[in-house]
Structure 1
Amino acid sequence: MLTIWGRISSINVQKAVWAAGEVGQSFERIDCGGTFGGLREPVFLAKNPNAQIPVLEDGEVCIWESNSIVRYLAARYGSGWIWEEDPALRADADRWMDWMQSELQPAMTPAFWGLVRKVAGFTDPDAIAASAAKAEKLMDILENHLAGRTFLAGERFGMADITVGCGAHRWLNMPIERAERPHVRRWYEAIAARPAAKPALPLPVA
Protein backbone atom coordinates (compact mmCIF):
# COMPACT_ATOMS: atom_id res chain seq x y z
CA MET A 1 0.00 0.00 0.00
CA LEU A 2 1.18 3.51 -0.81
CA THR A 3 1.79 6.20 1.79
CA ILE A 4 1.16 9.85 0.93
CA TRP A 5 2.46 12.43 3.37
CA GLY A 6 0.64 15.77 3.42
CA ARG A 7 -2.56 17.57 4.36
CA ILE A 8 -5.41 17.34 1.87
CA SER A 9 -5.86 21.15 1.76
CA SER A 10 -2.56 21.31 -0.16
CA ILE A 11 -3.12 21.51 -3.90
CA ASN A 12 0.02 19.47 -4.47
CA VAL A 13 -1.15 16.72 -2.13
CA GLN A 14 -4.48 16.72 -3.96
CA LYS A 15 -2.65 15.86 -7.19
CA ALA A 16 -0.99 12.84 -5.57
CA VAL A 17 -4.21 11.61 -3.94
CA TRP A 18 -6.16 11.91 -7.19
CA ALA A 19 -3.48 10.14 -9.21
CA ALA A 20 -3.28 7.26 -6.74
CA GLY A 21 -7.03 6.83 -6.92
CA GLU A 22 -7.10 6.93 -10.71
CA VAL A 23 -4.58 4.10 -11.01
CA GLY A 24 -6.43 2.00 -8.44
CA GLN A 25 -3.84 2.03 -5.68
CA SER A 26 -4.91 2.01 -2.05
CA PHE A 27 -2.99 4.41 0.16
CA GLU A 28 -2.63 5.80 3.63
CA ARG A 29 -2.44 9.57 3.83
CA ILE A 30 -0.63 11.07 6.82
CA ASP A 31 -1.47 14.66 7.75
CA CYS A 32 1.57 16.93 7.95
CA GLY A 33 2.43 20.44 6.89
CA GLY A 34 0.52 23.63 7.67
CA THR A 35 -1.09 23.52 11.10
CA PHE A 36 -0.16 19.83 11.40
CA GLY A 37 3.56 20.64 11.33
CA GLY A 38 6.09 17.84 11.27
CA LEU A 39 8.02 18.90 8.18
CA ARG A 40 11.18 19.73 10.14
CA GLU A 41 11.18 16.48 12.05
CA PRO A 42 14.17 14.24 11.23
CA VAL A 43 11.90 11.41 10.10
CA PHE A 44 10.30 13.66 7.48
CA LEU A 45 13.49 15.43 6.41
CA ALA A 46 14.96 12.01 5.68
CA LYS A 47 12.16 11.60 3.13
CA ASN A 48 12.31 15.13 1.70
CA PRO A 49 15.17 17.44 2.71
CA ASN A 50 13.20 20.36 1.24
CA ALA A 51 10.67 20.02 4.10
CA GLN A 52 7.74 20.20 1.70
CA ILE A 53 4.70 18.10 0.88
CA PRO A 54 3.70 15.82 -0.70
CA VAL A 55 5.93 12.82 -0.32
CA LEU A 56 5.00 9.44 -1.77
CA GLU A 57 6.32 6.14 -0.45
CA ASP A 58 5.81 2.98 -2.47
CA GLY A 59 7.77 0.22 -0.80
CA GLU A 60 11.41 1.25 -1.03
CA VAL A 61 10.60 4.06 -3.46
CA CYS A 62 10.33 7.56 -1.96
CA ILE A 63 9.46 10.52 -4.20
CA TRP A 64 8.89 14.23 -3.64
CA GLU A 65 7.60 16.95 -6.00
CA SER A 66 3.94 16.60 -6.90
CA ASN A 67 4.30 16.35 -10.67
CA SER A 68 7.02 13.73 -10.29
CA ILE A 69 4.70 11.75 -8.04
CA VAL A 70 1.88 11.93 -10.59
CA ARG A 71 4.20 10.85 -13.39
CA TYR A 72 5.55 7.96 -11.33
CA LEU A 73 2.10 6.68 -10.43
CA ALA A 74 0.93 7.05 -14.02
CA ALA A 75 3.94 5.27 -15.48
CA ARG A 76 4.05 2.45 -12.92
CA TYR A 77 0.36 1.74 -12.49
CA GLY A 78 -1.45 3.57 -15.28
CA SER A 79 0.35 2.65 -18.48
CA GLY A 80 -2.05 2.82 -21.39
CA TRP A 81 -4.50 4.72 -19.23
CA ILE A 82 -3.35 8.01 -17.74
CA TRP A 83 0.21 7.41 -18.96
CA GLU A 84 0.94 7.73 -22.66
CA GLU A 85 3.69 5.53 -24.12
CA ASP A 86 3.86 7.66 -27.28
CA PRO A 87 6.44 10.40 -26.55
CA ALA A 88 4.49 13.00 -28.53
CA LEU A 89 1.25 12.35 -26.67
CA ARG A 90 3.09 12.25 -23.36
CA ALA A 91 4.81 15.57 -24.12
CA ASP A 92 1.40 17.10 -24.73
CA ALA A 93 0.38 16.09 -21.21
CA ASP A 94 3.75 17.07 -19.74
CA ARG A 95 3.57 20.61 -21.04
CA TRP A 96 0.21 21.22 -19.35
CA MET A 97 1.46 19.75 -16.10
CA ASP A 98 4.46 22.07 -16.25
CA TRP A 99 2.22 25.00 -17.22
CA MET A 100 0.16 24.38 -14.12
CA GLN A 101 3.25 24.32 -11.92
CA SER A 102 5.09 27.26 -13.47
CA GLU A 103 2.26 29.53 -14.65
CA LEU A 104 -1.26 29.01 -13.29
CA GLN A 105 -0.42 27.90 -9.76
CA PRO A 106 1.97 30.80 -8.99
CA ALA A 107 -0.43 33.29 -10.60
CA MET A 108 -3.47 32.40 -8.52
CA THR A 109 -1.70 31.63 -5.24
CA PRO A 110 -1.46 35.23 -3.94
CA ALA A 111 -5.22 35.72 -4.44
CA PHE A 112 -5.91 32.36 -2.78
CA TRP A 113 -3.71 33.18 0.18
CA GLY A 114 -5.30 36.59 0.55
CA LEU A 115 -8.97 35.66 0.11
CA VAL A 116 -9.17 32.14 1.50
CA ARG A 117 -6.28 31.63 3.89
CA LYS A 118 -5.93 35.31 4.76
CA VAL A 119 -2.18 35.06 5.07
CA ALA A 120 -0.55 38.21 6.42
CA GLY A 121 1.05 40.17 3.60
CA PHE A 122 -1.34 38.84 0.95
CA THR A 123 -4.60 40.54 1.93
CA ASP A 124 -3.88 43.82 0.14
CA PRO A 125 -6.71 44.36 -2.39
CA ASP A 126 -4.32 45.52 -5.11
CA ALA A 127 -2.16 42.41 -4.72
CA ILE A 128 -5.24 40.19 -4.86
CA ALA A 129 -6.51 42.03 -7.96
CA ALA A 130 -3.13 41.67 -9.70
CA SER A 131 -3.05 37.95 -8.95
CA ALA A 132 -6.61 37.49 -10.19
CA ALA A 133 -5.93 39.38 -13.41
CA LYS A 134 -2.88 37.26 -14.15
CA ALA A 135 -4.77 34.04 -13.43
CA GLU A 136 -7.71 35.10 -15.59
CA LYS A 137 -5.44 35.57 -18.61
CA LEU A 138 -4.10 32.08 -18.09
CA MET A 139 -7.59 30.67 -17.73
CA ASP A 140 -8.34 32.19 -21.14
CA ILE A 141 -5.54 30.06 -22.56
CA LEU A 142 -7.11 27.00 -20.97
CA GLU A 143 -10.54 27.93 -22.29
CA ASN A 144 -9.25 28.30 -25.84
CA HIS A 145 -7.39 25.02 -25.67
CA LEU A 146 -10.41 23.09 -24.42
CA ALA A 147 -12.71 24.53 -27.08
CA GLY A 148 -11.90 21.66 -29.42
CA ARG A 149 -10.96 18.92 -26.96
CA THR A 150 -12.63 16.68 -24.43
CA PHE A 151 -9.52 16.54 -22.24
CA LEU A 152 -6.27 18.46 -22.08
CA ALA A 153 -4.17 16.03 -24.10
CA GLY A 154 -6.80 14.70 -26.46
CA GLU A 155 -9.87 12.52 -26.17
CA ARG A 156 -8.71 10.41 -23.23
CA PHE A 157 -8.46 11.45 -19.59
CA GLY A 158 -4.84 11.63 -18.50
CA MET A 159 -2.34 12.86 -15.96
CA ALA A 160 -2.50 16.47 -17.17
CA ASP A 161 -6.20 16.59 -16.34
CA ILE A 162 -5.34 15.65 -12.76
CA THR A 163 -2.77 18.37 -12.17
CA VAL A 164 -4.54 21.19 -14.00
CA GLY A 165 -7.88 19.96 -12.67
CA CYS A 166 -6.68 20.62 -9.12
CA GLY A 167 -5.89 24.18 -10.15
CA ALA A 168 -9.26 24.64 -11.82
CA HIS A 169 -10.98 23.29 -8.72
CA ARG A 170 -9.28 25.90 -6.58
CA TRP A 171 -9.87 28.78 -8.99
CA LEU A 172 -13.53 28.00 -9.70
CA ASN A 173 -14.37 27.66 -6.01
CA MET A 174 -12.63 30.75 -4.69
CA PRO A 175 -14.73 33.75 -3.56
CA ILE A 176 -13.65 35.91 -6.47
CA GLU A 177 -15.17 37.36 -9.61
CA ARG A 178 -14.19 35.49 -12.76
CA ALA A 179 -15.29 35.27 -16.34
CA GLU A 180 -17.58 32.41 -17.28
CA ARG A 181 -15.77 29.92 -19.47
CA PRO A 182 -18.08 27.21 -20.78
CA HIS A 183 -15.36 24.90 -22.07
CA VAL A 184 -13.42 25.01 -18.82
CA ARG A 185 -16.64 24.52 -16.88
CA ARG A 186 -17.70 21.52 -18.99
CA TRP A 187 -14.28 19.91 -18.64
CA TYR A 188 -14.00 20.62 -14.92
CA GLU A 189 -17.44 19.25 -14.09
CA ALA A 190 -16.68 16.06 -16.01
CA ILE A 191 -13.36 15.36 -14.35
CA ALA A 192 -14.46 16.47 -10.86
CA ALA A 193 -17.26 13.88 -11.02
CA ARG A 194 -14.77 11.02 -11.37
CA PRO A 195 -14.71 8.72 -8.30
CA ALA A 196 -10.98 9.25 -7.75
CA ALA A 197 -11.41 13.04 -7.82
CA LYS A 198 -13.93 13.30 -5.02
CA PRO A 199 -11.60 12.52 -2.08
CA ALA A 200 -8.92 14.72 -3.63
CA LEU A 201 -10.99 17.88 -4.15
CA PRO A 202 -12.50 18.96 -0.83
CA LEU A 203 -15.04 21.75 -0.56
CA PRO A 204 -14.85 24.40 0.58
CA VAL A 205 -11.33 25.01 -0.69
CA ALA A 206 -9.04 25.87 2.21
Structure 2
Amino acid sequence: MTMILWGRLNSHNVKKVAWLAIEAGIAHERRDIGGAFGFTDAYLALNPNRLIPTIEDDGFVLWESNAILRYLAARYVPALWPADPQARALGDRWMDWQFTFADAQRDAFLNLVRRPPAERDQAAIERSAVATGRLMAIVDEELARRPWLSGEDFGIGDIPMGVYAHTWFSLPIERPDRPHVAAWYERLKARPGYAETVMIPLT
Protein backbone atom coordinates (compact mmCIF):
# COMPACT_ATOMS: atom_id res chain seq x y z
CA MET A 1 0.00 0.00 0.00
CA THR A 2 1.31 3.46 -0.90
CA MET A 3 1.97 5.79 2.01
CA ILE A 4 0.52 9.28 1.70
CA LEU A 5 2.73 12.16 2.80
CA TRP A 6 0.84 15.40 3.29
CA GLY A 7 2.84 18.64 3.05
CA ARG A 8 4.45 21.14 0.70
CA LEU A 9 8.07 20.32 -0.10
CA ASN A 10 9.43 23.78 0.72
CA SER A 11 8.81 23.00 4.40
CA HIS A 12 11.88 21.84 6.33
CA ASN A 13 9.78 19.35 8.27
CA VAL A 14 8.26 17.85 5.13
CA LYS A 15 11.69 17.57 3.53
CA LYS A 16 12.81 15.36 6.43
CA VAL A 17 10.08 12.81 5.81
CA ALA A 18 10.26 12.94 2.01
CA TRP A 19 14.01 12.32 2.16
CA LEU A 20 13.65 9.34 4.47
CA ALA A 21 10.87 7.87 2.34
CA ILE A 22 13.22 7.86 -0.67
CA GLU A 23 16.20 6.74 1.42
CA ALA A 24 14.19 3.78 2.71
CA GLY A 25 12.52 2.96 -0.61
CA ILE A 26 9.03 3.49 0.83
CA ALA A 27 6.36 3.68 -1.85
CA HIS A 28 4.64 6.98 -1.22
CA GLU A 29 2.63 9.79 -2.73
CA ARG A 30 3.21 13.34 -1.55
CA ARG A 31 0.25 15.69 -1.56
CA ASP A 32 0.67 19.46 -1.29
CA ILE A 33 -1.02 21.06 1.71
CA GLY A 34 -0.25 24.01 3.96
CA GLY A 35 1.19 27.42 3.16
CA ALA A 36 -0.04 28.68 -0.20
CA PHE A 37 -2.07 25.47 -0.60
CA GLY A 38 -4.09 26.06 2.56
CA PHE A 39 -5.74 23.36 4.66
CA THR A 40 -8.84 21.36 3.92
CA ASP A 41 -11.34 20.11 6.47
CA ALA A 42 -10.34 16.58 5.52
CA TYR A 43 -6.71 17.30 6.34
CA LEU A 44 -7.55 19.01 9.62
CA ALA A 45 -9.47 15.90 10.60
CA LEU A 46 -6.12 14.08 10.33
CA ASN A 47 -4.04 16.79 11.97
CA PRO A 48 -5.88 19.48 13.96
CA ASN A 49 -2.67 21.48 14.55
CA ARG A 50 -2.75 23.18 11.12
CA LEU A 51 0.82 22.01 10.65
CA ILE A 52 2.69 19.70 8.29
CA PRO A 53 3.69 16.97 7.66
CA THR A 54 1.21 14.18 8.31
CA ILE A 55 1.39 10.64 6.99
CA GLU A 56 -1.20 7.99 6.32
CA ASP A 57 0.47 4.59 6.27
CA ASP A 58 -1.76 1.57 5.84
CA GLY A 59 -4.54 3.29 7.78
CA PHE A 60 -2.20 4.67 10.44
CA VAL A 61 -2.17 8.47 10.77
CA LEU A 62 0.80 10.26 12.37
CA TRP A 63 1.98 13.85 12.63
CA GLU A 64 5.12 15.52 14.06
CA SER A 65 8.07 15.17 11.71
CA ASN A 66 10.58 13.56 14.05
CA ALA A 67 8.00 11.12 15.39
CA ILE A 68 7.31 10.18 11.77
CA LEU A 69 11.02 9.61 11.15
CA ARG A 70 11.26 7.28 14.13
CA TYR A 71 8.13 5.38 13.11
CA LEU A 72 9.21 4.92 9.49
CA ALA A 73 12.71 3.81 10.49
CA ALA A 74 11.35 1.35 13.03
CA ARG A 75 8.88 -0.12 10.55
CA TYR A 76 10.85 -0.09 7.32
CA VAL A 77 14.59 0.36 7.97
CA PRO A 78 15.51 -0.46 11.58
CA ALA A 79 19.22 -0.11 10.77
CA LEU A 80 18.67 3.68 10.59
CA TRP A 81 17.52 3.74 14.23
CA PRO A 82 19.71 1.30 16.19
CA ALA A 83 18.19 -1.08 18.70
CA ASP A 84 20.92 -0.40 21.27
CA PRO A 85 19.53 2.29 23.61
CA GLN A 86 22.77 4.24 23.86
CA ALA A 87 23.46 4.20 20.13
CA ARG A 88 19.85 5.23 19.49
CA ALA A 89 20.07 8.06 22.01
CA LEU A 90 23.12 9.54 20.26
CA GLY A 91 21.05 10.18 17.16
CA ASP A 92 17.89 11.09 19.05
CA ARG A 93 19.55 13.97 20.84
CA TRP A 94 20.44 15.64 17.54
CA MET A 95 16.87 15.19 16.34
CA ASP A 96 15.68 17.12 19.39
CA TRP A 97 18.56 19.63 19.30
CA GLN A 98 17.65 20.52 15.74
CA PHE A 99 14.80 22.63 17.12
CA THR A 100 17.37 24.78 18.94
CA PHE A 101 19.14 25.35 15.64
CA ALA A 102 15.87 26.00 13.82
CA ASP A 103 14.98 28.74 16.31
CA ALA A 104 18.36 30.39 15.73
CA GLN A 105 18.07 30.16 11.94
CA ARG A 106 14.48 31.36 11.67
CA ASP A 107 15.14 35.10 11.43
CA ALA A 108 17.73 34.74 8.68
CA PHE A 109 15.51 32.35 6.72
CA LEU A 110 12.32 34.40 7.00
CA ASN A 111 14.00 37.69 6.18
CA LEU A 112 16.15 36.46 3.30
CA VAL A 113 13.72 33.97 1.75
CA ARG A 114 10.18 34.96 2.67
CA ARG A 115 10.37 38.77 2.77
CA PRO A 116 11.11 41.29 0.01
CA PRO A 117 14.35 43.28 0.43
CA ALA A 118 12.57 46.45 1.56
CA GLU A 119 11.00 44.63 4.51
CA ARG A 120 14.08 42.79 5.76
CA ASP A 121 15.48 43.29 9.24
CA GLN A 122 19.22 43.30 8.66
CA ALA A 123 20.05 43.31 12.37
CA ALA A 124 17.93 40.21 12.90
CA ILE A 125 19.65 38.52 9.97
CA GLU A 126 23.07 39.25 11.41
CA ARG A 127 22.09 38.02 14.87
CA SER A 128 20.75 34.84 13.33
CA ALA A 129 23.93 34.33 11.30
CA VAL A 130 26.10 34.69 14.41
CA ALA A 131 23.87 32.38 16.46
CA THR A 132 23.81 29.63 13.84
CA GLY A 133 27.55 29.90 13.31
CA ARG A 134 28.10 29.33 17.04
CA LEU A 135 25.73 26.39 17.12
CA MET A 136 27.40 24.84 14.10
CA ALA A 137 30.60 24.81 16.14
CA ILE A 138 28.91 22.25 18.40
CA VAL A 139 27.99 20.13 15.39
CA ASP A 140 31.51 20.50 14.03
CA GLU A 141 33.02 19.21 17.28
CA GLU A 142 30.74 16.18 17.17
CA LEU A 143 31.58 15.43 13.55
CA ALA A 144 35.29 15.68 14.32
CA ARG A 145 34.85 12.57 16.47
CA ARG A 146 32.57 10.48 14.23
CA PRO A 147 31.38 10.66 10.62
CA TRP A 148 27.65 10.97 11.32
CA LEU A 149 25.49 12.59 13.97
CA SER A 150 23.95 9.14 14.40
CA GLY A 151 27.35 7.62 15.18
CA GLU A 152 29.59 5.54 12.96
CA ASP A 153 26.83 5.03 10.38
CA PHE A 154 24.24 7.28 8.78
CA GLY A 155 20.90 7.22 10.59
CA ILE A 156 17.78 9.24 11.20
CA GLY A 157 19.70 11.41 13.65
CA ASP A 158 21.37 13.00 10.63
CA ILE A 159 18.18 13.86 8.80
CA PRO A 160 16.75 16.87 10.70
CA MET A 161 20.07 18.72 10.92
CA GLY A 162 20.90 17.59 7.39
CA VAL A 163 17.90 19.55 6.16
CA TYR A 164 18.82 22.65 8.13
CA ALA A 165 22.48 22.39 7.13
CA HIS A 166 21.52 22.78 3.49
CA THR A 167 19.67 25.98 4.35
CA TRP A 168 22.65 27.23 6.35
CA PHE A 169 24.99 26.68 3.41
CA SER A 170 22.48 28.22 0.97
CA LEU A 171 21.54 31.45 2.75
CA PRO A 172 23.58 34.53 1.77
CA ILE A 173 25.03 35.06 5.25
CA GLU A 174 28.51 35.13 6.74
CA ARG A 175 29.46 31.63 7.82
CA PRO A 176 32.48 30.70 9.93
CA ASP A 177 34.57 27.82 8.66
CA ARG A 178 33.19 24.56 9.99
CA PRO A 179 35.27 21.95 8.11
CA HIS A 180 33.74 18.83 9.62
CA VAL A 181 30.22 20.13 8.97
CA ALA A 182 31.24 20.90 5.39
CA ALA A 183 32.61 17.38 4.90
CA TRP A 184 29.45 15.88 6.41
CA TYR A 185 27.36 18.03 4.07
CA GLU A 186 29.28 16.64 1.11
CA ARG A 187 28.53 13.10 2.32
CA LEU A 188 24.86 13.99 2.68
CA LYS A 189 24.75 15.18 -0.93
CA ALA A 190 25.58 11.63 -2.01
CA ARG A 191 22.65 10.14 -0.08
CA PRO A 192 19.59 8.89 -2.00
CA GLY A 193 16.87 11.50 -2.07
CA TYR A 194 18.88 14.36 -0.57
CA ALA A 195 19.30 16.26 -3.81
CA GLU A 196 15.73 15.52 -4.86
CA THR A 197 13.98 16.57 -1.67
CA VAL A 198 16.34 18.81 0.30
CA MET A 199 18.63 20.56 -2.19
CA ILE A 200 15.87 22.50 -3.87
CA PRO A 201 15.51 26.30 -4.10
CA LEU A 202 14.57 27.90 -0.79
CA THR A 203 11.09 29.41 -0.92
Taking structure 1 as the reference length, what is the TM-score of the superposition? 0.93
Q: Is the 8 A contact 1:111 1:122 kept in 2?
A: no
Q: CA 1:85–1:119 in structure 2 vs 1: closer, same or farther (change >3 Å)?
A: farther
Q: Aligned letter for 1:18?
A: W
SS of the residue aligned with 2:145? coil
Gaps of at least 5 residues in structure 2 are none
What corresponds to 1:124 in structure 2? 121
| 1:35 Cα deviation from its structure 2 partner | 1.1
| 1:65 Cα deviation from its structure 2 partner | 0.6
Q: Deviations over 1:46-96 (max 9, x none)?
A: 1100010001110111111110111111111111x2111011111111100
What corresponds to 2:98 in structure 1? 100
| 1:25 Cα deviation from its structure 2 partner | 0.3
Identity of aligned residues (%): 46
| 1:202 Cα deviation from its structure 2 partner | 3.3
How far apart are the structure 2 equivalents of 1:123 and 1:36? 25
1:172 aligns with 2:186: no
How far apart are the structure 2 equivalents of 1:119 and 1:110? 14
What corresponds to 2:86 in structure 1? 88
How far apart are the structure 2 equivalents of 1:122 and 1:32? 27
What corresponds to 2:55 in structure 1? 56
How far apart are the structure 2 equivalents of 1:90 and 1:22? 18
| 1:198 Cα deviation from its structure 2 partner | 2.0
| 1:160 Cα deviation from its structure 2 partner | 0.9
Q: What is the root-mean-square deviation of aligned Cα atoms in Å?
A: 1.6
How far apart are the structure 1 equivalents of 2:107 and 2:157? 23
Gaps of at least 5 residues in structure 1 are none
Out of 148, 169, 191, the residue aligned to residue 194 of structure 1 is 191
How far apart are the structure 2 equivalents of 1:184 and 1:147? 9
> Pairwise mapping of residues 36-75 of structure 1 onto structure 2 (< 5 A)?
36-37=37-38, 39=39, 41-75=40-74
Q: Aligned letter for 2:55?
A: L
* Length, aligned pairs only: 202
Q: Deviations over 1:87-129 (max 9, x none)?
A: 111111110000002x101110111000111179972111111
Please identify which structure carries the higher helix content: 2
How far apart are the structure 1 equivalents of 2:195 and 2:61? 25
How far apart are the structure 2 equivalents of 1:155 and 1:166? 19
Q: CA 1:14–1:121 in structure 2 vs 1: closer, same or farther (change >3 Å)?
A: farther
